[in-house]
Structures are given as structure tokens and as C-alpha cells.
């Protein structure tokens, strides 16, 4: 039980049990400040505990990252099925052709955006995006979107 408490904290304060008895994080921002240093920085606990089902583990783990809940669950499910495809592992054909031009634009405009006066930043950014679109950015995005729509069945 101590291991469970070190990792998950205290029921009612850090988590609530769902209908299956799995601890679901109440407030991940609060937990990050109040207790997560114990399990992460000191590494007192090696895992999150033992769950009755894979789904319970996925749900509990994803609840710690509420902004990315669906992504975390999908990644765990895909990894078990052997079908995980991270977006950085796919390069569209057009991306190969336009990458150097788009990266060159980024290196030129990124510094300008960072060093610009606040009132000039939006105009510089808009110019950057317009130039990137001329270089084929929208077409690269369309190719990548089409690919991942097929992979993930969207």
C-alpha cells in the first residue's frame, strides 16, 4: 500500500477511484506541485501499481496528462497492437522536395520573430507563413494529413 500511496498520493486529495477501483487523477497540475517530485525526482517507486486490466492502466496513466488523454490511450493501445506510427517517422514525398526551402525560411524568420519589437512580430510571422505556403507548406500538410487519416482510420 505504501508504494501505491507514494505513486498515486491520497484518495480524495490526489485521486478518486472510478467504478472499477482504478485511481483517476483529480488535478494533475496540483499533483505535479504537491507530490509528483516524490515519485519522479527521488524515484522511490518503480511503477504505478498493478491493475486488473490493460484498459485500467491506460486510463490511469492517461488521466495524468489530461490535455493529451486520448493521445496517451491511443499510443498505449497502438503499441500493444504493434501499429504505432509516430508522426515524425513519416515523410511525405513533397516534404522531401521542399524541406530545405522551408527550413531555410524558418531559420530566416524565426530569428526575426524572436528579436522583433512586439508591434512588428505579427506582421513578420504572417510574412513567414505566406512565404512557407509559397514554398509548398500547405501541400506538405495535405499529404501528411491524408497519410495519417488512412493510418488511423479517420
Predicted confidence band of residue 105 (pLDDT cuts 50, 70, 90):
very high
- Distance, in Å, from the CA atom of 57 to the CA atom of 73, rounded to the nearest integer, reads 9
- Of 20 and 48, the one with more pLDDT: 20
pLDDT at 131 over 90: yes
Q: Is this prediction's pTM over 0.75?
A: no
pLDDT level of residue 119 (50, 70, 90 thresholds): very high
Which sign does the torsion angle of CA 29, 33, 34, 37 carry? positive
Predicted confidence band at 101 (pLDDT cuts at 50, 70, 90)? very high
Q: How far apart are CA 97 and CA 17, in angstroms?
A: 51
Amino acid at each position: 500500500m505504501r508504494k501505491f500511496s507514494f505513486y498515486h498520493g491520497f484518495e480524495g486529495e490526489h485521486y478518486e477511484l472510478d467504478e472499477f477501483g482504478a485511481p483517476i487523477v483529480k488535478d494533475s497540475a496540483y499533483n505535479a506541485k504537491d507530490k509528483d517530485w516524490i515519485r519522479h525526482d527521488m524515484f522511490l517507486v518503480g511503477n504505478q501499481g498493478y491493475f486488473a486490466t490493460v484498459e485500467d492502466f491506460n486510463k490511469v496513466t492517461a488521466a495524468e496528462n489530461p490535455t493529451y488523454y486520448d493521445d496517451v490511450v491511443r499510443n498505449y493501445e497502438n503499441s500493444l497492437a504493434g501499429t504505432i506510427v509516430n508522426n515524425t517517422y513519416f515523410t511525405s514525398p513533397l516534404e522531401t522536395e521542399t524541406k530545405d526551402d522551408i527550413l531555410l525560411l524558418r531559420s530566416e524568420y524565426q530569428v526575426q520573430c524572436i528579436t522583433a519589437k512586439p508591434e512588428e512580430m505579427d506582421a513578420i510571422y504572417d510574412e513567414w507563413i505566406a512565404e512557407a505556403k509559397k514554398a509548398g507548406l500547405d501541400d506538405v500538410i495535405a499529404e501528411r494529413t491524408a497519410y495519417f487519416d488512412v493510418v488511423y482510420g479517420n
